[in-house]
Structure 1
Amino acid sequence: MTLRQYEYALAVAEQGSVTAAAELLHVAQPSVSQQIRGLERELGVQLFARTPTGLVPTVVGRAFLREAEVAVNAARRARATARAGADELVGELLVAAQLGLGTRQLPSALAALRRRFPRLEVTVFEEPNPAELERLGRRGVLDLVLVAAPCDEGAAEAHHLGDEEFVVVLGEGHRLLAADLVGLRELEGEPWVRFDRDSALDGVLRDVLRDHGLAPTTAARVSQAATAVRWAAHGLGVTLVPASAVPDGYEHLARPVFPVVSQPVVAAVRRGAGPAETALLELLRRETWHSAAAFAPAPGGPARSRVAPPSTTNPAPVV
């Protein structure tokens, strides 16, 4: 078996056909078919089944493809490490962030990384569900993840980058915009723009409101922090998001809350990290992370106490 066969099989699984996989890989279709047939002969199993909608992995095929993906990612990392020099870094870097974390800091750090290493290919995505981040991490897919909860030290190295404070976003003309700080209990009776039920952001909101005796009325649920801010700005309801997740142009509608709601920002880096992960980690360390100190109340304002980040029912991601 070869890595090329692994890559061809993964492409067929992704595209659902040999023709589309060949186009993706920029190779001739017979070459892909030949490699897949040779792989199945060597393994003695059928990896794909033909259906009316295209080729789909069999049960055995799905199990094989999981391991093939790990092997291909490991090979890419090995190539990147071997070819990394003082002035050049090439290869692929896979980064994920828990929804709402590092919304401003991660793009800034990645832009600096790309300026330094223009041949480095970076794939980034946000994921609202910590359980899905854990699943991807256990498959060995991710190189670096931004999470709010500590990670499994046996599988990843955790680096505390800072603390992210949450702010409440209000609609234009809302009565509480006259205040510099908004007490959580002042939000009694407000409708809320919330997030998907299995997301970490909705877990924070749910636990904070419960801890302060508030029973929220849900006006809407969205899947992105920026969408929640925009909908709140139009008066659909109020929302609670990390400070850095407030898009440009909406800062005037955001207010810090008291008691303070904040959570740590942890970079979980896979063990045996290569030069790309190390470089990105150092750039993230240089970023400014929003903390309670950044939203200090005016003299004579109400006392504020830090609220520990609420726990969630999902385990911490493992990378």
Structure 2
Amino acid sequence: MNVRRLIPTAALAGAVALGATALTACSGAAAGTGGGKDGKVGVTASFYPMAFLAEQIGKDHVKVDSLTKPGVEPHDLEITPRQTGQLGESDVVVYLKNLQPAVDKAVAQSGVKNIVDAATLTELEVHGSAGHDHGAEEAHAEGEGHDHDHGHGEGGKDPHVWLDPVKYAEIAKGVGAALEKADPDHAADYKKNTDELVGKLAALDTEFKDGLQNTASRTFITTHSAFGYLAERYGLDQEGISGVDPESEPSPARMKDLQAVAKKDNVTTVFFETLASDKTARTLATDTGLKTDVLDPLEGITDASQGADYFEVMRSNLKNLQKALGAK
């Protein structure tokens, strides 16, 4: 089941309400255990970006498990009855509604008191129009495209918000508040850890802003249109080959459009990701004489990831974008 359908060149988003969770890139935690161990707060996260927040904010006070194992494409996740039962034993659940239907259903049935829906912690947006993502100024002015949402959030809203450091920081604050409520004895620690994480995300935002300020091109092509929020934040144009579903086959007309875009906008590189097939990216690159490189949507960390955690992979993404766009 692939919930990843939006608009062929969408932009992205997501995030939260009342709880918290986490799993680090290297934790390799088993899917969805619940309940605290050794007096720790038991946090169950839906997938890596939510788990990372819970671990960074909760640190030694929490035990974080993820429903999505490392290497599993989160949109395709199916939850076992055992995981559903374990989810109900959690002290806190952190997830992003409308990204993983199986998780939404399990959370609704869990009966857990402290549930954080990241989608309520920041503003989700609809990205993309007629095959284009037009950056900050135009993104809100356009709403009609030739490919529409196919179940990727309410009203076609983009859930990939964690790829925008500013929006991810807003979610972090909500997760921190949820942990403070669930475990008031350690509220001061959660507050301190949240402030530190928000500071790191602000620094990352500055790195992207400065690093992408002057480039030869503002357009990038990617198989998975997960970078709408990032594109909007830093004034870039995202062109998706297959929309938000990297496994779907683009039409011949779309491939022809992208060839024209590549020529017109001085595009040098076609991006693919680590958790999905690179077939369409390599086909387009071959047909147009372009290079290929990785732009990671950070939905999970594996040995193939260009970094061990959120910050390392995001900085790799920045470096790859700078190279592809001709940053000066």
Tell me the TM-score normalised to structure 1 length. Answer: 0.29
Task: Report which of the two has the higher share of strand.
Answer: 1
